[in-house]
Amino acid sequence: MDRASIGYTEPLFVMPFDHRGSFQAQMFGIRDREPTDDETRLVASYKRIVYDGLLEALAGGAPKDKAAILVDEQFGAECAEDAVQQGIKLAMCAEKSGQNEFDFEYGEQFGEHIARFRPDFVKVLVRYNVEANGETNRRQADRLARLSDYCHQHGHKYMFELLVPPTDEQLARLGGDRKRYDLETRAGLMEQAIAELQNAGVEADIWKLEGLDESSQYRAIVQQARHGGRDRVGMIVLGRGENAEKVDHWLCVGGTVSGVIGFAVGRTVFWDALTGFRDGKHNREAAVTMIGNTYTRFVRLFTETR
């Protein structure tokens, strides 16, 4: 593969609402079972609120050519189909929800499900720590390289969400302090994970990564992401469900670094709006407006930082 053809360099502001297992459990208390048909329609209706929030933001002036949604087939097919019709960039997730080890949501039929929607981006969420179980990492890398080949053969950009949860040993070395892990250790492990995955044949066009506190950390990771002639590979910052103040900081720091092209902030944008609607604190229209306004604020913040 010609590495010069890999990547995505345009600004990209993603509204991600592809959450499935965690969304069901935390929003509606649906745990350890498949939702009923009525529950599926209920979850889908809440996802439509998020999508309508994006539409309101675009109607209010947020740049449509830089916007995208990231959604799942199970609950968000209607939103995905509408986005395609409206010319909004679409990312669809390919991973099975709630798994510590990556596997395909639809098994060997993953290609058929991608082809149904023809998304601009195919996204995976992967937990990968180079100091964790080596056999698990090898199995994941093999599957992820296979998907990488599929995406590039079929004209989809590969969006790779990398999470690096600490091992018990790593936390023990830091006295069990998760904040120290985030500040002192995670960035280096992210860089190592990208290198290891690249060596295994995983060629991401966009790395979707947890926010970092120092611009030097972003620069080091972008350098690795673009190593070996991958000069167009981009990075977007995810929100990790953090409060708006923390996300603001991550975007302001990342926005100063060449190669950091945007963000994918989901729960920080929509969670309070949806739970408020669920609990009767405001109506659907207010929830849509809250989501649109918060998304627009993050777009403005990142753009002004750039």
The confidence score (pLDDT) of residue 3 equals 83
Structural domain of 109: 3-305
Q: What is the pLDDT of residues 182-235, one digit of tens each?
A: 999 999 999 999 999 999 999 999 999 999 999 999 999 999 999 999 999 999
Look at residue 287 in the predicted model and tell me its pLDDT.
98
pLDDT on residue 2 = 79
pLDDT given at position 144: 98
- Which pTM was predicted? 0.95
Gap between the Cα atoms of 79 and 53, Å rounded: 12
Instruction: Give the total number of structural domains in the chain.
Output: 1
Q: Token pair for residue 147?
A: 């998907």
CA of 11: how far to CAs of 63, 64, 66, 201, 239, in Å? 10, 11, 6, 26, 17
DSSP 8-state assignment for residue 252: H
For the chain, the C-alpha Rg in angstroms (whole number) is 18
Cα distance between residue 151 and residue 103, in whole Å = 16
CATH number at residue 54: 3.20.20.70
Q: Which residue has 């403005």 as its token pair?
A: 300
185 and 206 Cβ atoms separated by less than 8 Å: no
From 105, 104, 109, 112, select the one nearest 142 (Cα to Cα): 104
pLDDT in tens, the chain (306 residues): 678 789 999 999 999 999 998 899 999 999 989 999 999 999 999 999 999 999 999 999 999 999 999 999 999 999 999 999 999 999 999 999 988 999 999 999 999 999 999 999 999 999 999 999 999 999 999 999 999 999 999 999 999 999 999 999 999 999 999 999 999 999 999 999 999 999 999 999 999 999 999 999 999 999 999 999 999 999 999 987 788 899 999 999 999 999 999 999 999 999 999 999 999 999 999 999 999 999 999 999 999 988
